[in-house]
């Protein structure tokens, strides 16, 4: 059996607001870190700025398949303004695909 690295992703998510219509649009800020590798941060909305230098939140529609399953599950039960730290296993993350700079099995 070949050893495959197993990394957990840790996300700290803050909901900004939900827009409820036929589809639920979610606006969040987040930090994505690998639980292994001394908490290496692989992504955050705070690195993406608008023309005024303000961080740009990430927007997605629940159920659209635009985000990993673990992120969607974490956000579903959050309230507006809530902050949550979640640990997402590879099975609910990027699985065995590489999403540079994120390694496979994250």
pLDDT at 22 over 80: no
For residues 35-42, average pLDDT: 76
pLDDT at 44 over 60: yes
User: Model confidence over 65-106: pLDDT tens digits?
Assistant: 889 899 999 888 888 888 888 888 888 887 766 666 666 665
Q: What share of the chain is helix, strand, coil (3-state, %, to 5)?
A: 15, 40, 45
Q: What is the mean pLDDT of the chain?
A: 77
Instruction: Please report the pLDDT score of residue 46 as a whole number.
Output: 92
Instruction: Mark 3-14 as b/e (b = at least 16 C-beta within 10 Å).
Output: eeeebbbbbebb
The pLDDT value given to residue 56: 92
Q: What is the DSSP letter of 69?
A: H
């Amino acid at each position: 059996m070949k050893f495959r690295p197993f990394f957990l992703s840790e996300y700290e998510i803050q909901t900004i607001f939900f827009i409820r219509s036929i589809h639920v649009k979610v606006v969040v800020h987040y930090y994505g870190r690998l639980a292994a590798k001394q908490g290496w941060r692989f992504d955050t909305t705070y690195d993406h700025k608008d023309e005024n230098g303000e961080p740009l939140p990430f927007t997605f529609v629940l159920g659209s398949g635009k985000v990993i399953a673990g992120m969607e599950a974490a956000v579903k039960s959050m309230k507006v303004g809530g902050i949550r730290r979640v640990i997402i296993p590879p099975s609910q993350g990027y699985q065995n695909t590489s999403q540079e700079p994120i390694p496979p099995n994250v």
